[in-house]
Structure 1
Amino acid sequence: MKTTLMYRGSRATGLFLLLLATTTAFCQKVKLNDSEYFEIPGLNVLVFSSQYNGMFFDEKTAGIELIHHGVRTSTGGAVRLQHTPEQWDLVPKMTSRKVDKATNSIEVGLRYQEVDFDSRVVVSAKGNGFEINVYLDKPLPAKVVGKAGFNLEFVPSAYFEKSYLADGKPGTFPLYPASNTKTEPLSEKIQQFGIHNTFEERGKPEFIVPAPLTSGKTMVLAPDDAEHMVRIQSETELMLFDGRNLAQNGWFIVRSLLPAGKTGKVLTWYLEPNVIPNWKRAPVLEFSQVGYNPGQEKVAVIELDQADQALKTASLIQVMADGKQIEKLKGPVTNWGKFLRYNYAKFDFSSVKEPGIYFIQYGDQKTNIFPISADVYEKTWHPTLDVWFPVQMDHMTVNEAYRVWHGAPFKDDALQAPLNQQHFDGYSMGDKTDTKYKPLERIPGLGVGGWFDAGDFDIQTGSHNTTILNFVDAWEKLKLNRDETRIDQGRQYVDIHRPDGKPDLLQQIEHGTLNLVAQVKNIGHPVRGIIVPNLHQYHHLGDANTETDNLPYNPNLKPYESDGKSSGTLDDRWAFTTRSAFLDYNTAAALAAASRALNGFNDTLSTQALTYAKKLWDENDGKPNTDTSRFALFRRNTEMAAALQLYITTKDDRYAKKFTDAIWPALDRNVGQVLTAALQAYPFMNKAYQTKLKDYVVKFKASNDELTKQNPYGVPAGTRGGWGSNQQVISWAITNYHANRHFPDIISPEYVFRGLNYLFGCHPYHNLSFVSAVGTRSKKITYGSNRADFSYIAGGVVPGIMVLKPDFPENREDWPFLWGENEVIIDICSAYIMLAGAANELVKK
């Protein structure tokens, strides 16, 4: 009884303090800053700082957005045409954006070309919050009456287990979607991207329409949580929806419909996010979760609120075998400066070399533990090769102990993609197939080998090529002969943690090469990729084996009808076969490299790989560059890469000449982009080549040192765009590894370690390792095939920090569905294996 009373008293006190915070929150008024967003401590309001993406549509990174107490909790503030828009629903194009500091407002023009509908949204500071007004110069088109409305989306993970009030009526945000829905005729649905449909009708032309959780004129979100509380008021009804009824990546949405037959100002919202007075973001102590080699540099980065100042000192504490904690170093904290929106400082503890378990103390904050040890990098690549890559293996059943990751999928591969097709995920076909096959004709022999490219289940040939090249480099340079996986191609069976007497890396090279050889053998050239035909398949979550029925398509059968050997369901993956010189050369490079690695392991496949590499080279060599695809600019580099790999494999001087003729102009254009290739060629070239290359390595070192002025991490951490920069960091660190091998007097191993430190936790926003299950604390929520379970696949490497314009770095650990931050892909992971293995080799030296 006493405990209960104390709890009630504590809760009452908390509610009183919350109300006090609410009434005094906006001591400062929201104002536009020089970066053109509204700002006060604890709240930023971005108004179309980022636009919707025309390729992937709604990426949850555009429109009106709230950064609330340091976390982006809201996005997608815009006029939309559905209660709960899915990713592939139509998005408005921003036609204008006017920032007016005099009136403290931002106005954006929005247009839906597909339905000839324009609107204007004006956001302005008002009172203790801000006002959103929607204007129409023309009445709503008839097609969008009852559909067009203003939406503002809130990320579910920030509001789980919290409450809401609608005109005082209480409710709780659901952990799992369970609100009411209804179906309407498909004729009532506004068309999604192209001719595609995210909903599988199964013979009933209808679609799902969710009902609101609640409605009212005043909506208060999370009144029980000072950091997330938002009050919204309008004279028009506000409705609260759960977008997860239609898609697992949906958000909670507050929405008001726009009225029919009216012009001018047609909707007004008043938003008042609660702001904790004098709020400051807590410092983030950034360091390697894997730990450090005794001899390497050891520098932690401290990320600070722009209103915060660094403490003068920090300490390194050693945890002893008896549990005692001893201060091994108390050292100065040095200011670095501002990067993006935060201030940064550094704590250097390089002088501590004694192996052991440590943590960093900064004021009252303590990090988790990490080791200092000579073997910290030894096992860092194991989960990626042991677990992540086996799970990605296409056309195989993959088992791990008591768990089956997926059955053997896509036995029905593949059909020739139809002509003049603008597909999703960047795929398209022109007015010819560039093959002997007719549209939707079966292409034999493709149901073998390959990896799922990413969190979805397509085969992207370019990514395969990069992956094979990375694997061959790791095999030849590092001899990573680990064996922890049974891979049985004959039985299409993979068993994780079960050695089979064969190096796993060679078996992965074999698996990728099987699919490339099948493409060239059966089609005549490599294809852009192989992907499902329907959008309702593409967003498939779960076992890849169920994305199709695994039965070859038979046009003589009705949809969903089967004779046991074939099916009338047009769900077989399509091969997008438009030929590209860029892809031909890229594939030739991968096949030529694979042929070396497979020599003596699978001699038949090795011979086939080299044969087809030469074929692709011969069919393109000497031809003018008529490629007009988006890959045209990359042709020069892939031709050069093919020449190098063919020369290393065959020792034919005609390939060497092609390479040397191309490499020097390429280095002059961009030394960082092609230096890895130049360094890979180093052992096979003459002394004059090796001597000439030194000047470019010196130039590269100068660019390395310039990075320490650009950001506190000293790596090429990108600051713009919809995809994290880990791939760029890994590639840069690998280049430094190759440079150190041949020019150790110029390039220090520290550049390599610096790249890994960034991956392992010394990066913005938080200090988790970007490699799941590697390091003391690592990513446990990623965008993989199991993302709907808010989980991860061990060894997966995420893209990392995505910078939302103009200055907000983000990598969420509570929401897996942001692919630019959390999607794990094969080329990043294969490069990571190479880098982690290289770092371990450097330590041994």
Structure 2
Amino acid sequence: MTTIQGIVEPEPIATGRKIEIAPDDPEKHVSIRTTDGNTLMLFDGRNKQQNGNFVVRTLLPGKKTGKIAEWFIQAETDTKWIRKPLVAYSQVGYHPAQKKMAVIELDENDEISHEVTLLKVGSDGRLTKVLSAMPADWGIYTRYKYKQFDFTAINEPGIYVLEYDKLRTAPFPIGKNVFQKAWFPTLDVFFPVQMDHMCVREAYRIWHGAPHLDDALQAPLNRNHWDGWHQGPTTDNKYKPLEHIEGLNVGGWFDAGDFDIQTPSQQSVVQTFADLCSDFRVSRDQTSINQQTRYTEIHVPDGKPDLLQQLEHGVLQLIGQVNAVGYAIPGITESHLYQYRHLGDAVNKTDNKVYNANLDSLQTDGSTSGTFDDRWAFTNRNPYLNYGTAISLAAAARCLKEYNPQLSMEASRVAQFIWKDEHSRPTPEKIEFGGRSFNSADFMNSVECRAAFELWRTVGDTVYKNRMQKLFPILLTQFDRNVSVVARILPFLDNQIKKQVEPMVQAYVKQVTEQNKENPFGVQISRFSWAGNHGIVQEAINAYQLHLLYPDIVKPDLIYRSLDYLFGCHPFHNLSFVSGVGAQPKKVAYGNNRADYSFIPGGVVPGIRIVKPDFPENRDDYPFLWSENEYVIDLAASYIYLVNAADHLLNNSGK
């Protein structure tokens, strides 16, 4: 490394006119040479950043026109190369009663077909052939051709492997309990690790100290920050730019692989945890959580349901926002870029002392400091966000009623306050969020109806019920968009309305069924820039809730296929997308420990991204592609719900 005009720059590890990369490996050999007098320089980009790569560079001369530099790049190729087959299957295994389908992914030039064999593993390690057959041709999807091997008929509990040609899979079980523990790491480890404002210990390891106790300063005006954060021309509250806002240094989870609090994902997790509480009565206790001491210890039960403790943690942040400024805010994020890129213990991002502009830099009076490192709260008012918090708090209030009566009452009070406050204001034509505008009606009808529904269930006031009944028919005009809200409300409406909705459900099922025929895995694989596991999980949850209402119309197969997909039956590789779950799970992911090329047990990654035009990808050797590998809390919460739903259907057992 060297310093140039005060900036640290890496020095090349080699220079020359020609660089040979992996000359000993024909599959990786690349040759780069200059065709003029310029020099090639090879750098190790990791000298500057953990997500760096090897970089080849030529400095361009100044004051020169025309052809000023030229490279000749040659990759060694093998015209007869054929990609090795992939056997995609569930790493977690299969319930005896569900459909069991393995998918064979083949190079389009692979013309040789082989039998697929299912073998049972004995207690002595011996393999016994159970089923063998030629896989059925499915066709072409993206750049590969696919075959399917159906072994649904095999339902005897045990450990099995699959063989295709010279490939043998890792062992997987068939048994009634395959889903009963598949969500444990997500609640036991992932969510504790994501807890903001808490010290988190696991045995000998401190995942992180209690960070961001100096939250938060009001974000400056007219600020276009990174990662979509935006503050408009006003603060929309009593606080001045860069003034400390009291009451935000409590609760909440790190949104994803970074350390910010994004309110929409906090709301989503609280809503999902409330649904888990009401639908499955999850009572598992493996974690100690103490809000007074800001201390969490993993794998140490404290006699309290972990789900309720996590729900409490999310509620504290949402209530804190409203009590601080009067409404839900977009969230809290780092003020400086070096903090945003921070890897390591989150407690080291700030000094945990509230910024005091009257003190010199690095000076402290014990509780405040002159170090300008506090996070910023972005506070532009948004009715969509506000109703989202009302929904979450109203639903959570019912679940917390016995566990924490005082917090339950406060959650209900704040939810009702938001409702009254929003109804005292005109509805804007456009909603501003992240510096972008959205049509208000498209969003507001759905969230207001859901807020009215949750408040009616919690408070019992007919004002909320009447408003819900008025808005519900509007939601039905866009059934596809609002299906998740409709499915939650329908069980509480009369049979006449359920009968009215039935044709819409039939049309929805037909549409989803056709869309899922696009690929051999039977789920909707996203073609957007962010991989689509969240959409797959949400569609399966929709199917579960509609199945309970219309069992003859909505079959549960999509629920099980979606979990099979998450657990390894997908393109590119057959790893489970849930770290720590399955025989071969994701071990390299975009969590806050990604610099170690490691993982957080229970985290769920976004999954397969289709690189245009036709390359399905999920890198398992490089964690820094967030669109494929970044853990996100709302997906993790929905995953817990989906696994419980599948287990409930197959075993008729809540938790």
Asked if these proteins are the same fold (TM beyond 0.5), I'd say yes
Corresponding residue of 1:684: 492
Corresponding residue of 1:42: none
Task: Give me the whole-angstrom Cα distance separating, in 1, the residues matched to 2:623 and 2:258.
Answer: 14
Amino acid at match of 1:270: F
Corresponding residue of 1:184: 4
What is the CA deviation profile of residues 628-679 of structure 1, one whole-angstrom value per residue up to 9, with x for unaligned ones? 41363433332232122222222333333433433344343342x3212112
SS at match of 1:266: coil
SS at match of 2:584: coil
The number of equivalent residue pairs is 643
Corresponding residue of 1:649: 458
Amino acid at match of 1:215: T
Corresponding residue of 2:174: 372
Corresponding residue of 2:505: 697
Task: Give me the whole-angstrom Cα distance separating, in 1, the residues matched to 2:559 and 2:508.
Answer: 14
What is the CA deviation profile of residues 475-497 of structure 1, one whole-angstrom value per residue up to 9, with x for unaligned ones? 11011110000001111100101
1:136-147 residue pairs with structure 2 within 5 A?
A: none
What is the CA deviation profile of residues 694-721 of structure 1, one whole-angstrom value per residue up to 9, with x for unaligned ones? 2222122212321342111111111x22
Q: Which has the larger radius of gyration?
A: 1
Amino acid at match of 1:683: P
Among 405, 409, 415, the alignment partner of 2:217 is 415
1:79-228 residue pairs with structure 2 within 5 A?
A: 181-185=1-5, 206-228=6-28
Task: Give me the whole-angstrom Cα distance separating, in 2, the residues matched to 1:264 and 1:690.
Answer: 72
Corresponding residue of 1:674: 482
CA deviation after TM superposition for structure 1 residue 312, in Å? 5.0
Check whether the contact 1:312–1:334 (CA below 8 A) recurs between aligned residues. Answer: no
Task: Give me the whole-angstrom Cα distance separating, in 1, the residues matched to 2:468 and 2:60.
Answer: 62
Corresponding residue of 1:632: 438
What is the CA deviation profile of residues 318-353 of structure 1, one whole-angstrom value per residue up to 9, with x for unaligned ones? 111222111100123111111111111111111111
Deviates more, 1:222-231 or 1:492-501: 222-231
Task: Give me the whole-angstrom Cα distance separating, in 2, the residues matched to 1:658 and 1:399.
Answer: 46
Task: Give me the whole-angstrom Cα distance separating, in 2, the residues matched to 1:259 and 1:697.
Answer: 65
Corresponding residue of 1:794: 601
Check whether the contact 1:557–1:567 (CA below 8 A) recurs between aligned residues. Answer: yes
Check whether the contact 1:528–1:577 (CA below 8 A) recurs between aligned residues. Answer: yes
SS at match of 1:448: coil
Deviates more, 1:832-841 or 1:272-281: 272-281
Matched, 1:432 2:203: no
Corresponding residue of 1:784: 591
Corresponding residue of 1:663: 472
Task: Give me the whole-angstrom Cα distance separating, in 2, the residues matched to 1:658 and 1:781.
Answer: 48
SS at match of 2:563: helix
What is the CA deviation profile of residues 592-624 of structure 1, one whole-angstrom value per residue up to 9, with x for unaligned ones? 111111111111111111111112122223722
Task: Sort the Cα spacing of 1:811 and 1:755 in 2 relative to 1 into closer, same or farther, 3 A.
Answer: same
Corresponding residue of 1:732: 539
Deviates more, 1:691-700 or 1:373-382: 691-700
CA deviation after TM superposition for structure 1 residue 722, in Å? 2.0
Task: Give me the whole-angstrom Cα distance separating, in 2, the residues matched to 1:757 and 1:318.
Answer: 20
Corresponding residue of 2:32: 232
CA deviation after TM superposition for structure 1 residue 399, in Å? 0.6
Task: Sort the Cα spacing of 1:342 and 1:248 in 2 relative to 1 into closer, same or farther, 3 A.
Answer: same
CA deviation after TM superposition for structure 1 residue 800, in Å? 0.5
Deviates more, 1:375-384 or 1:298-307: 298-307
Corresponding residue of 1:561: 363
Task: Give me the whole-angstrom Cα distance separating, in 1, the residues matched to 2:116 and 2:645.
Answer: 32
Task: Give me the whole-angstrom Cα distance separating, in 1, the residues matched to 2:160 and 2:183.
Answer: 23
Check whether the contact 1:239–1:255 (CA below 8 A) recurs between aligned residues. Answer: yes
Pairwise CA RMSD: 1.4
Check whether the contact 1:310–1:333 (CA below 8 A) recurs between aligned residues. Answer: no
Matched, 1:818 2:638: no
Corresponding residue of 1:721: 528
Among 61, 80, 88, the alignment partner of 1:259 is 61
Corresponding residue of 1:446: 248
CA deviation after TM superposition for structure 1 residue 751, in Å? 1.3
Check whether the contact 1:648–1:684 (CA below 8 A) recurs between aligned residues. Answer: no
Check whether the contact 1:331–1:349 (CA below 8 A) recurs between aligned residues. Answer: no
Corresponding residue of 2:257: 455
SS at match of 1:746: coil
Matched, 1:341 2:147: no
CA deviation after TM superposition for structure 1 residue 297, in Å? 0.4
Corresponding residue of 2:323: 521
SS at match of 2:355: coil
SS at match of 1:344: strand
Amino acid at match of 1:731: Q
SS at match of 2:488: helix
**TM-score after normalising by structure 2:** 0.96
Check whether the contact 1:335–1:345 (CA below 8 A) recurs between aligned residues. Answer: yes
Among 183, 192, 206, the alignment partner of 1:381 is 183
CA deviation after TM superposition for structure 1 residue 783, in Å? 0.5
SS at match of 2:293: coil
SS at match of 2:68: strand
Task: Give me the whole-angstrom Cα distance separating, in 1, the residues matched to 2:56 and 2:477.
Answer: 53
Amino acid at match of 1:219: I
Task: Sort the Cα spacing of 1:794 and 1:623 in 2 relative to 1 into closer, same or farther, 3 A.
Answer: same
Task: Give me the whole-angstrom Cα distance separating, in 2, the residues matched to 1:454 and 1:685.
Answer: 37
Task: Give me the whole-angstrom Cα distance separating, in 2, the residues matched to 1:358 and 1:503.
Answer: 35
Amino acid at match of 2:427: P
Check whether the contact 2:516–2:524 (CA below 8 A) recurs between aligned residues. Answer: no
What is the CA deviation profile of residues 718-771 of structure 1, one whole-angstrom value per residue up to 9, with x for unaligned ones? 1x2221110000001111111111111111221110110000000111000000
Amino acid at match of 1:643: A
Corresponding residue of 2:199: 397
Task: Give me the whole-angstrom Cα distance separating, in 1, the residues matched to 2:525 and 2:446.
Answer: 23
CA deviation after TM superposition for structure 1 residue 246, in Å? 1.1
Q: How many percent identity over aligned positions? A: 47
5+ residue gaps in structure 2? Answer: none
Among 565, 574, 591, the alignment partner of 1:767 is 574
Corresponding residue of 1:829: 636
Corresponding residue of 1:272: 74
Check whether the contact 1:581–1:627 (CA below 8 A) recurs between aligned residues. Answer: no
Task: Sort the Cα spacing of 1:310 and 1:741 in 2 relative to 1 into closer, same or farther, 3 A.
Answer: farther
Q: Which has the higher contact order (CA 8 A, sep 6+)?
A: 2
5+ residue gaps in structure 1? Answer: 1-180, 186-205
Task: Give me the whole-angstrom Cα distance separating, in 2, the residues matched to 1:646 and 1:610.
Answer: 8
SS at match of 1:224: coil
CA deviation after TM superposition for structure 1 residue 833, in Å? 0.6
Check whether the contact 1:580–1:627 (CA below 8 A) recurs between aligned residues. Answer: no
Corresponding residue of 2:342: 540
Check whether the contact 2:355–2:374 (CA below 8 A) recurs between aligned residues. Answer: yes
Matched, 1:500 2:296: no
Among 734, 750, 767, the alignment partner of 2:557 is 750
Task: Give me the whole-angstrom Cα distance separating, in 2, the residues matched to 1:565 and 1:183.
Answer: 37
What is the CA deviation profile of residues 283-342 of structure 1, one whole-angstrom value per residue up to 9, with x for unaligned ones? 111000000001110001111112123625211111112221111001231111111111
Matched, 1:321 2:123: yes
Check whether the contact 1:220–1:231 (CA below 8 A) recurs between aligned residues. Answer: yes
Matched, 1:356 2:134: no
1:15-94 residue pairs with structure 2 within 5 A?
A: none
Check whether the contact 2:114–2:165 (CA below 8 A) recurs between aligned residues. Answer: no
Corresponding residue of 2:416: 614
Task: Give me the whole-angstrom Cα distance separating, in 1, the residues matched to 2:149 and 2:78.
Answer: 30
**TM-score after normalising by structure 1:** 0.75
What is the CA deviation profile of residues 778-821 of structure 1, one whole-angstrom value per residue up to 9, with x for unaligned ones? 00011011100010010000010112111111111111111001
Q: Name the structure with the higher strand share.
A: 1
Task: Sort the Cα spacing of 1:418 and 1:299 in 2 relative to 1 into closer, same or farther, 3 A.
Answer: same
Among 563, 570, 574, the alignment partner of 2:372 is 570
